[in-house]
Structure 1
Amino acid sequence: MADPALPVPRRRRRGRPSGGATDARERILDAAVAEFEAHGYDAATIRSIAARADVDPALVHHYFGSKADLFTAVIDAPMQPARFLPEILDGDLDGAGERLVRFLLDLWEQPDFRRRGIAVMRAMMGSKRTANILVGFVSREILRRITTRLGGGDDARRRAGLVASQIVGLIVTRYVIELPPIAEATPDEVVAAVGPTLQRYLTGDLEG
């Protein structure tokens, strides 16, 4: 019989982290990157991600909900458009194209970011479902912000779409398929070559 003087231990709800599991969320994100990279979005499962992170699958659901929500978190965690886009787009738009290219290269040249970004891009190219998730993310977090900064309307949406297409093309050719002329160029060379194109999309004559 239990001693009534002793406190009765509270049962921890299944899937909730213990006091020592403060790094569980990051472990899950890292495991998701590895699973998406190794197996693609469709073959990766919450169970396999949980096993790689050494957590209960219920903990993955606790932090992220569905696999689609987890994939969105994998995209959002390193990029955080709400943080970097205002720095690039606020104030005078002159030079914003170069600033945007340089910022993206600074991110993608970091090994940890590049690994996560490549996993996302490969998962996207291998699954229509992940492509739709990424399109939704880019539309909501990036295109909308650029469109708003350019004043809204059809012309602004067109310009934002062109900017996004250039950025995605640069990332794929330099970091995912590593096309030699682009992959071997220095960041300064890429900024000098691509920055003016983005600047024209943002503020220049699109008909010229």
Structure 2
Amino acid sequence: MSPRRTGRRPGNPDTRESILAAARAAFAERGFDATPIRAVAAAAAVDPALVHHYFGTKEDLFRAAMAIPIDPAELVPRVLAGGRDEVGERMVRTFLGVWDSPAGTAAVALLRSAVSNQWTARLLREFLTTQILRRVVDRLDLDPAEVPLRGALVATQIAGLAMMRYVIRLEPVASATPDTLAATIGPTVQRYLTGPLDGG
């Protein structure tokens, strides 16, 4: 008698792909917050319980739909661990750690696609906004009215750094050490997070 298998069953590949296709379309059209699991299930013509069975939470489904090999829930605590005034530097260092790792290959491919594909750009925007930046800024006790602008400004720095270092490969940024980039770009990210926005 063969040993009994444990854990989540792999399921039907066609069903999984149908769910992922429906999820990508829904997240791109509605955004992460406005996309309930039941809407994805309806579009894929499956029971919502099956979506949970294959993918777990909505966050897990979103990450699978985008083929992101990282879990923001594991990264954000690293950014927030320590003093409030060093969040910008830790954010740059954490992002570089991901992009410089094997997981960064998928991230670079996604970034390249987002430049020329509006659908992918919307997904990437949703991922950065809801899964990473929101989780950081919500812990910094900021003026709620300033949060959208602060998050968007941080995104310009992080996305710009990724584009110059990994896609365009602009020197000396492309070959600079993570310590150098964290020390030089981190203060700008910090100002966008917690500094004055009126130029004062």
Q: Normalising by structure 1, report the TM-score.
A: 0.64
The RMSD of aligned alpha carbons is 2.8
TM-superposed deviation, 1:144: 2.1
* Counterpart residue number, 2:140: 150
* Counterpart residue number, 2:162: 171
Q: Which amino acid aligns with 1:66?
A: A
Gap runs ≥5 in structure 2: 26-60
In the TM superposition, what whole-angstrom CA distance separates every residue of 1:127-163 from its partner, at most 9, and x where no partner exists?
1111111112222112322332233512232222211
Query: Which of 117, 120, 142 pairs up with 1:127?
Result: 117
Gap runs ≥5 in structure 1: 1-18, 26-54
Aligned CA distance change for structure 1 residues 87 and 71 (closer, same or farther; 3 Å): closer
Q: 8 Å contact 2:21–2:65 — kept in the other structure?
A: no
* Counterpart residue number, 1:82: 73
* Counterpart residue number, 1:139: 129
Query: Which of 12, 18, 27 pairs up with 1:61?
Result: 18
Which residues of 2 match residues 45-124 of structure 1 at below 5 A?
57-61=14-18, 64-66=20-22, 68=24, 72-73=63-64, 75=66, 77-89=68-80, 92-110=83-101, 112-124=102-114
Aligned CA distance change for structure 1 residues 23 and 91 (closer, same or farther; 3 Å): same
Aligned equivalents of 2:155, 2:98: Cα separation in 1: 16
Query: Which of 171, 179, 182 pairs up with 1:188?
Result: 179
Q: Normalising by structure 2, report the TM-score.
A: 0.66
Q: Which amino acid aligns with 1:115?
A: T
TM-superposed deviation, 1:169: 0.6
SS at match of 1:66: helix
Q: Which amino acid aligns with 1:186?
A: T
Which residues of 2 match residues 7-22 of structure 1 at below 5 A?
none
TM-superposed deviation, 1:65: 4.5
SS at match of 2:196: coil
Number of aligned positions between the proteins: 157
Aligned equivalents of 2:159, 2:191: Cα separation in 1: 17
